[in-house]
Structure 1
Amino acid sequence: MANISIRYQIAQKVRNWRLKRGYTQKDLAKKVSVTYQVVLQYEKGTRKISIEKLYAIAEILSIGIVDLIPVSNEKICFEDKGEEILNLVRKYKTINDQELRKVFYLLTKFTRVGEKSSKKAEKVKIAKGLVKAGISVDIVSQAIGLSADECVEEKIGSIYCKIGKKIKEWRLVREYTQKDLAKKMSTTRDEISNYEQGRVAVPLDKLYAIAETLSISITDLLIEEGSKVENELPNLIEEYKKIESQELRNVLIKSMFKSIQICEEKIREEERIKIAKNLVKKGISTDIILQITGLSLGEIQQI
């Protein structure tokens, strides 16, 4: 994906979400603390948007960072997935049964972690949007099923430190040293170290390059509010490392990402609809529900 293409796609997403929220370019500029001309350049794709500014824009528009980041458009259907798993079983039937069972056990665990993370992130994102819109924290907490603390803003640690931590985690999953990753990216070990420590801002094009080198999605390196299930990841990584066959490891990683990709958007949509139902019961204005959840008027009317 060319840098200019990435920048243009982000520009379109920013513009579309701004219009969806009913903000003018001047409104958004004021909220992000930049000039109107800068927002104009952002939306034309002639000016790079830093990751930090993307997070700020996402927060103002009451959306997740992944809503502004272009990802692969590859679609995978469940039928194909089932056939792929059967083919894998046939292909690896000569491999130790215990090890093969471990692969599918871990695949299931990884997918569940992704599902929990997606659900929680969607809830927290909508909750914070509702609180910002002036809805009582108690009402939001009851409607969404979160604690009062989870419904309000929490500012801890820099974005780049958190992203750096994710880069390090995935580098270790791949069993690369900083030097290995640097070599594969034609850069220096110091640069990788700076990124992992959060000492310097990671340019978006570099983040895409790191994700590609680690054979993961860009979204796996981004921080989603509410993703509190990350403490499960280290244990899964340790189990993953016990698999002796490198080929099986590759199969696990490939299948894991595909499984998560299949269900993530569906999970987010289901959570939005579930939350919207509860908000309707609480008597929250339809306009606010539309604005914060991103659902259509038709979807709200069917509730």
Structure 2
Amino acid sequence: MSLPTYSGIITVLTTPFDANNVIDYDVLGRHIDWLIENGVTSILQGGSTGEYYAMTMEERREALAFVAKHVAGRAQLIAGTNAMRPDDTLELNDYVKDLGYEAVMLAAPPYAAPSAEELAAHFRRIAAATDLGIILYNMPSRTAVDMGPDFLDGVRGIDNIHAIKESSGSMSRHYEHVVNYPHLQRVCGMDDQALDIFLWGAKSWIAGASNFLPAEHVALWKAAVEKRDILLGLKIMQGMMPLIYLLENGGKYIQYVKYGTELAGFDVGPMRAPMGGLTDAEKTHFEKLYDDVKALDLAALVA
């Protein structure tokens, strides 16, 4: 399998649950169709936005299989295969390859907090066991491990470790990647930094808010990446920023994504434990920001 490139909007799917807390595949299928119709180029199943940490391995495999079958070649497929046990990640990687996924996204193993040397050895083992593309996911606020230079030097030269989603919040880290790790495809991983990262040459964005604002995300990508019209991109980003800033800084990212997807017309149901829902006040505030974005008709700016 040739290694993939990443371009456009990559939606990391939220997971709809019905009243019995079971995955609602009817809603999931309709949601995927709508995302693709609105220009999303890649579908990422199994990320933290999709609450993979609250799902059994059987549920994860079932959802990965459904998404692959439903997408049916209409979009690039990427799988989130993080697991507490590294061997479960290896198993999922084999499983998704057979389903047609082109790549996997992997953070540091949760809770373990390995050293840079230990983490590099972990990823070398994973990379040796698959020929899928590997997108590194650096989010030290969740993993307590930073994929810094010592780690990146430890996996340099491994062909299928070829991209990084940088979610530390540091723009300096992006500049470091531009200068010292140009072999890595850079994928936007902080929604409120999307325009800045596109300016520095990134061509893709793994975006949770594209679950409910796909056309607006695509508009920003077209302006900043396809047209290289930074002023137009700035206008679109300014329109989206109040909502996106809340997502990244409001402490309830996944809950806001689920509520936004509900506002967009898809009943994705409640959060699974241990996460709770939004308060009425939080919903009211978010809905106002959502309505403000929709009123701007940002997608029309690049039509």
With normalisation by structure 2, the TM-score equals: 0.27
If each structure's helix is expressed as a fraction of its own residues, which one has the higher value? 1
If each structure's strand is expressed as a fraction of its own residues, which one has the higher value? 2
Find the structure with the greater CA-based Rg. 1
By relative contact order (CA 8 Å, sep 6+), the higher-ranking structure is 1
